[in-house]
């Protein structure tokens, strides 16, 4: 079974690249983030022609998440119970579903903007709410994973030059602690193998030839429980999907399982 996650950075703008990637990589389950479209505007028919059912959660702004599945999709939950709001809005940043033998969450963790900003505290509160939401599934026997854009680089090696991130979000102690607290529910990161460079970055800024110079970050993560991680046979970040024109600034992360 193949499970993947991808911050698509506008499913409307990237639809040709998405369809091409689905045909070539053929995941059984794909978690998408940053749809930038309302749920009723998702291109359901285009992905259905490739054999995928879709459940989406979006409001048309810069957020939005979805799960695509070839192996069924049931027990869908949108949003986090008791999740925090930002500027009185409950943003569409999480969706979960059971797809065949696995249960997954697709999550788009808030960026945080700047350390000390109200959005930074929102990010920490959101991660705490996510921990509560996933705790039962994480401790269970059924294969379970939380996949998505966490906007946190787990270690200093996961950014191209840690000296440039002094005092910045994505690498702060509080964010990394919140990620570690999430893992205490029974989750362990599935580490992708490096295909070209020592660190399998998943995000490169469009500006200043970030991808070409490999000025990247590893912020798209897969956290699985024992039933999930014990079945992993391979994992990698698909750099080729980031290459060329019209692509997202993130690469998909792909995990193969023997279930």
Successive 10-residue mean pLDDT values, the chain, 259 residues: 98 98 98 98 98 97 96 98 94 98 98 96 98 98 98 98 96 98 98 92 95 97 98 97 95 98
User: What's the confidence (pLDDT) of residue 249?
Assistant: 98
Q: Under DSSP, is residue 41 helix (H, G, I), strand (E, B) or coil?
A: helix
Q: Measuring CA to CA, how many Å separate 143 from each of 57, 132, 138, 147, 256?
A: 23, 18, 9, 13, 13
Q: What is the pLDDT of residue 187?
A: 98
Phi, psi (5° rounding) for residue 94?
A: -150, 140
Residue 196 has what pLDDT?
Answer: 86
Which residues lie closer than 8 Å to 61 by C-beta, 6 or more apart? 36, 91
Domain range for 109: 2-257
Do the beta carbons of residue 150 and residue 219 sit within 8 Å?
yes
Task: Give the span between the Cα atoms of 49 and 72, in whole angstroms.
Answer: 15
What is the pLDDT at residue 82? 87
Whichever domain contains 221, its CATH number is: 3.60.10.10
CB 72 within 8 A of CB 88: no
In the chain, how many domains are there? Answer: 1
């Amino acid at each position: 079974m193949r499970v993947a996650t991808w911050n698509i950075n506008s499913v409307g703008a990237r639809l040709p690249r998405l369809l091409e990637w689905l045909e070539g990589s053929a995941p059984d389950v794909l978690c998408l983030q940053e749809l930038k479209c309302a749920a009723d505007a998702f291109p359901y028919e285009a992905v259905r022609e490739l054999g995928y059912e879709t459940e989406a959660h979006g409001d048309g702004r810069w957020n939005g998440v979805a799960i695509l599945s070839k192996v069924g999709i049931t027990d869908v939950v949108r949003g986090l119970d008791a999740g925090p709001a930002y500027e009185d809005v409950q943003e569409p940043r999480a969706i979960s579903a059971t797809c065949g033998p696995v249960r997954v969450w697709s999550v788009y963790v808030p960026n945080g903007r700047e350390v000390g900003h109200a959005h930074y505290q929102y990010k920490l509160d959101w991660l705490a709410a996510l921990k509560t939401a996933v705790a039962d599934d994480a401790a269970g026997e059924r294969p379970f994973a939380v996949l998505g854009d966490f906007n946190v680089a787990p270690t200093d090696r996961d950014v191209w030059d840690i000296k440039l991130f002094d005092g910045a979000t994505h690498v702060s102690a509080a964010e990394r602690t919140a990620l570690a607290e999430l893992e205490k529910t029974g989750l362990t990161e599935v580490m992708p193998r490096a295909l070209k460079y020592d660190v399998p970055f998943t995000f490169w800024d469009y500006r200043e030839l970030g991808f070409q110079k490999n000025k990247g970050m590893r912020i798209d993560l897969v956290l699985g429980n024992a039933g999930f991680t014990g079945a992993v046979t391979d994992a990698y970040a698909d750099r080729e999907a980031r290459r060329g024109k019209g692509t997202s600034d993130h690469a998909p992360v792909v995990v193969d399982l023997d279930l």
